[in-house]
Amino acid sequence: MAAGIDDYRRRCWDAALHAYGTSHIFQRRAARLKSRTDMLTWVGLAVPLLIGALVGTFGQNEHWSVVLTVGAVVAAVQLAMSLWSLVKRWPEELAYSSSSATANETLASRFTALGEDPPGHQALRTQFEKLTVEDTARRDRDNEKGVTEKERRMGMRAALRKYQRQCAACHQVPITMEPSDCAVCGQF
């Protein structure tokens, strides 16, 4: 039996919900990675510049040994963290997360638009199938990035909140991003 317009509209809304939730996950990842890389960059520049400015301004004396020692320790920690960020590929992960967040947000918007104002049955089916192919390809790439169950629950809560839908488990429509005890839209 062929799916009707209402069935395709429901499927559009479901796909929009999942794409938006994934977008939220990668937005959060991108924000976290950006703040970490910004902090590393700032410390990497600020510590040597500050020490150089202090020594250049006030000259060397015996009191600077403590400042230089603290600065050297901070610089060593920063160097170790920079190395760790390269090993864990933070710059690449930041770029991927930003790109994925944008792509998933676009998919969610396109599914939403299709669900809100569907064209005729045949055009709806064709557009839905095209979007589904794009969505599947994006999901396959996103799944390679190790999305955790905790992140999935957070994404689900964000999507349920945006689209004002009830959670299938707790039957609540989230109004905040505060985690609940629900195993589907909470516990993150």
Q: Which residues of the chain have pLDDT under 70?
A: 1-2
Summarised one tens digit per residue, pLDDT across range 20-59 is: 999 999 999 999 999 999 999 999 899 888 888 877 877 7
What confidence score (pLDDT) does residue 2 get? 61
**Gap between the Cα atoms of 188 and 179, Å rounded:** 6
In this structure, what token pair is assigned to residue 167? 């959670």
**Gap between the Cα atoms of 25 and 89, Å rounded:** 18
Q: Give this prediction's pTM.
A: 0.87
B/e letters for 22-58, b = 16+ CB within 10 Å, e = fewer, are: bbbbbbbbbeebeebbeebeebbeebeeebeeeeeee
To the nearest 10°, report the CA torsion of 115, 116, 119, 122.
20
What confidence score (pLDDT) does residue 51 get? 82
